[in-house]
Amino acid sequence: MMNVRQSALATLTRCDRDGSYSNLALDAAIKAGDFSPADRGLLTALVYGVIERRITLDYLIDRLADREPARIDPQVRNILRLGLYQLRYLDRIPPHAAINESVALATRKSAGFVNALLRGYQRQAKTLTLPARQDGLIPYLSVNYSFPAPLCERFVRIFGEERAERILAAFAVQPPLTVRVNTLKTTREALLAELAAQGHSPTPSPLSPDGILPGSAAPLHEGVASGRFFVQDTASQLCVRTLDARPGDTVIDACCCPGSKSFGAAIDMENRGRVLCFDLHKNKLSLVSAGAERLGISILETDARDSRTYDPTLCGIADRVLCDVPCSGFGVIAKKPEIRYKDPADSAALPDIQLAILENNCRYVKKGGVLVYSTCTLLPEENEENIARFLARHPEFSPEPFSHSGITATGGTLTLTPDEHGTDGFFIARLRRAAH
């Protein structure tokens, strides 16, 4: 059986070689190993930490190496990243353990190189510096916050220098777990008391009246299995509140998986009405149905379909339509660290796909009904610019102001960011169809 560091190395190798998502590769590694809770925590910290800090770690490795960076074998580089991450970022691991365990991962041929480089870092740690701001803004942001230069440049253009740095820094902070109360089965007050009795330190979400921050890493399996709550980021909860589904409504969730927004809408509707849950991926819809059953929701109807394709039987039937469209994901980097390494240019085709989904599904909104568009990215071409394109083509829709817990969207659109709101990066637009 692999130990924790062997499993971490194998997981990182799988992510590099196969392009696997880190969360899926990590889940597979945890299931394959008989790890204690402490070891599972260390494995998670190592995998996510190395991926998150890869640019910083590689900068240090390349400065310390006695050979050309290109000559360092990819497997050896991952071993060095693991060792260096422990030395630089994990205070509870003794340096000698981090070095010795890393050397043990190496082959006989590379063990001496790994040992020498890590001991070299240990000797030079206080004098080995990263690029300073005066060395150039983009190199400074890229190496210090471990983001590729193209994404740093995009964020600076969008938000300005100071705000871009704050956002990059916020993405390095693991966001707190947030759950949504299932008010079909309990109340927030009762769930707060229940979680406290189980040894958690729960607090109400300051932004969502349905949200709770459990405040503890203790397992939540019992509560999830009972259906009294489900995991949902605050930004996603606010998206559902913007939809404002009412009992008896007909709601369409055009891109529903993994289902949390459909669940939230059905709960707001007191499980009365219809929630039509569509998604391109048929295999994921069974998980939505299973989740609904666990939560005691009976009004969800699932169907696999491409939401760009018109269905005349749905024309004008919905009181509310939610288009939570596929996006580049440059708002959930804290939870999915590998997203930071995507080139923003690779997302150039997404805005047209998103607009096609929005334009098709707008036809399903009743006169006087509500259309909500959302993404988990911070790129304006997928957000504000797409809404502007849509409104220019559809004068029957107009932006409608909304507010949540003191956050006001006077123009009908809202961008949530981790630095200001402590949430995922998220965009929400609320549009109202003319009544006549």
Whether the CB-CB separation of 400 and 430 falls below 8 Å is answered with yes
Cβ contacts of residue 298 below 8 Å, gap of 6+? 271, 292
Compute, in degrees rounded to 10, the torsion defined by CA atoms 397, 356, 332, 345.
-120
Cβ contacts of residue 4 below 8 Å, gap of 6+? 33, 35, 39, 42, 43, 46
Strand partners, 320: 251, 370
Does residue 215 come out as left (phi exceeding 0), alpha (psi in the -120 to 50 range) or beta?
Answer: left
Residue that the structure tokens 């059986």 belong to: 1
Residue that the structure tokens 């609904």 belong to: 292
Give the SS3 label for residue 308.
coil
DSSP states of 310-372 as a string? --GGGTT-EEEEEEE-----TT-TTTSGGGGGS-GGGGTTHHHHHHHHHHHHGGGEEEEEEEE
Burial class (CB in 10 A: 0-12, 13-18, 19+), 110: middle
Tokens encoding 284: 């994921």
Other Cβ atoms less than 10 A from the Cβ of 175: the count is 18
Give the strands of the sheet with 211-213, arranged side by side: 203-204, 211-213, 179-181, 229-231
**For the chain, how big is the Rg over CA atoms in Å?**
24
Amino acid identity at 45: A
Task: Say how far apart CA 188 and CA 182 lie, in whole Å.
Answer: 8
Other Cβ atoms less than 10 A from the Cβ of 319: the count is 21
Amino acid identity at 408: T
Which of 256, 277, 323, 376 is labelled catalytic? Answer: 376
- Give the angle 332-152-385 at the CA atoms, nearest 5°: 65
376 included as an active-site residue: yes
Element (H, E) at 279: strand 274-279
Cβ contacts of residue 108 below 8 Å, gap of 6+? none
Return the active site residues: 376
